[in-house]
Structures are given as structure tokens and as C-alpha cells.
Copies of this chain bind each other. A is one copy, B any other.
Amino acid sequence: MRIGIPKETTREEKRVSIVPAGVDALVKSGHTIFVETGAGVESHFTDEEYRKVGANIVYNAEEVYQRSEMIVKIAPLTEKEVDLLQDEQILFSFLHLAVGKKNVIEKLLKKKVTAIAYELIEKDDQLPVLQSMSEIAGQLAVQVGERYLGSDSPLGRGILMGGIGGVAPAAVVVLGAGVVGFNAARAAHSRGAHVIVIDNDMRRLRRINTDISKNISTVAANPFTIARGVKFADLFIGAIQIKAEKTPHLVTETMVKTMKKVLSLLMYQ
């Protein structure tokens, strides 16, 4: 099969969809690979590295799209990229159609593109790609939060997450014990923080105690416990997917005001 790897076009997206090791495996399995020049640069892979394992370097996106049967990307397609897609082409990419523009969807339908969204790939009742993204999100939430606790952040009060001899560590409250929350709790606990995890699923909370540590406090979620958590936290990590109509019950006006002094990293679980 002819597979195309275009360069990502959004500024924040520094990844490349397939690394040279992956290209190598595909070439050895008999596929032909087209890589847009510079596609790997932001990920520190040169054209040369792709060429060595057998990729064909092409010099603009149009060529990648035209010569390939299948396009492998990372970021959801911009309208301009959708226009480059060929009729009946296969597309592997994050799509985020639920929050996407209407005419992107219409164009995909019209071109009869077979579009496979990473975020919807299922295997054994799990979403393996989202799982990995969530693991990273949980760890990064703590890493970013740690930075904001420092004295060089405008909100920070010079708190060292793990404390030192004679100085207590930060209190980190994690709302949600899914994959993001689990990884955030583990990262914060391993840094020496005092961690409290709030969720309304007892099984998830038990897993925190069994798989990370008995020394993480787990708390059944209700407006009282969440309010107390918000007040107590030096760092508050939101790891639940809040749906509009649910919020008012859990996070009141007053709590949001209180939260101004803390950090609110709302992420997807």
C-alpha cells in the first residue's frame, strides 16, 4: 500500500505520525512510504533518517496526498487539509468530530473518505490511544501544577511539592480517579505530596489504594467533600469530564471563587 506522512500544519503539533522505526517496519512489509520534507523536524527526525529506512521524500503536501492511498496524520484536519484528501482515500488521524466543524464532516462524507479516528479505536472494551493520552495528561498535570506552585509563578506561593525536612509537602487534591486521575495521583504521591482523590466510583478509589499506595486518602464525592477538597488543596487537579448540566451541583459559584487561589487544570478523563 502507498502510505503518506504529511507534515503537520498546526503550530502546536510537534509530533510526526510515524517515526523512522515505524517506516522501516512498513517498508520491510512491502509498503511504499511518502514523507513530506521536514515532517519529522519538530520531533528531531531528519529527512535523511527517513530516507535511510526506505521512505520517499516528497516536497509538498499536495504530492503526499496525491500519491498515497492512505494518509497518516496526528492533528485533526484543517479545512485546507481536507481539501487535499482524494476521493475514497483512507485517513488515520485524530478527528474530534464531536467538536469539529460541520463542513469538515460533510466534505469527508462527500469524498467517501474512510476515516479512522485514533480517539475512537477500541480494543477489548478499551480506547488504547486515549488511554495513553490520558496517562500523559495525568503526569503532565502534576508537572505543570508543580511549576505553578513555585515562587516564580504569579499564583505560586513558593511551595515545593515534596516538601523538605521541616516543611510539609503540598496538599494535592485530584477530582476523578479515572486514567488521568490515577496517573496524576501516582505522580503527585511519588513526588512526596499529600494526595487526596475524590470520586464517586468506589472501585476506582480502591484501585488507587491497592495499585498506588494505602497512604493516598480516597474520598467519596459529594458537594461537601468536593468543597472541602477545594479549600484544603494547594493544587487542585480536575480529572473529570464535566458536562454542563452536571456542574452546578458539584462546583458552586462560591467554590469557583475560592478556586481562584488554587490551580484548576480541567482535563478529560
Knowing A158-B14, A249-B28 are in contact, say whether A166-B214 is a contact too (CB < 8 A): no
Residues of the B chain whose Cβ atoms lie less than 8 Å from the Cβ of A21:
222-225
Within 8 A of B (CB), among A181-220: 186-187, 189-192, 194, 196, 202-203, 205-206, 208-211, 213-215, 217-220
Q: Which of A32-55 contact B (CB under 8 A)?
A: 42-44
Q: Chain A: residues with CB nearer than 8 A to chain B?
A: 14-15, 20-22, 24-25, 28, 42-44, 124, 126, 128, 131-132, 135-136, 139-140, 143, 146-147, 150-151, 157-158, 160-169, 186-187, 189-192, 194, 196, 202-203, 205-206, 208-211, 213-215, 217-220, 222-225, 249
- Name the residue of chain B whose CB is nearest to the CB of A221: B166
Cα-based distance from A163 to B59 in the complex (angstroms): 34
Which of B194, B211, B220 is A217 in contact with, Cβ under 8 Å? B194
Which chain B residues border A22 with CB–CB below 8 Å? 222
Assess the A219–B168 pair: CB atoms within 8 A. yes
Q: Chain B residues near A196 (CB, 8 Å)?
A: 168
CA distance A24 to B214 in the complex (A): 30
Instruction: Give Cα A208 to B224, complex, Å.
Output: 33
Instruction: Assess the A136–B160 pair: CB atoms within 8 A.
Output: yes
Residue of B nearest to A123 (CB): B203
Q: Are A131 and B202 in contact (CB under 8 A)?
A: yes
A-B contact pairs, 10 of them (CB 8 A): A128-B203, A132-B165, A132-B202, A135-B165, A135-B206, A140-B160, A190-B214, A194-B215, A211-B211, A213-B215
Q: Is the CB of A163 within 8 A of B194?
A: no
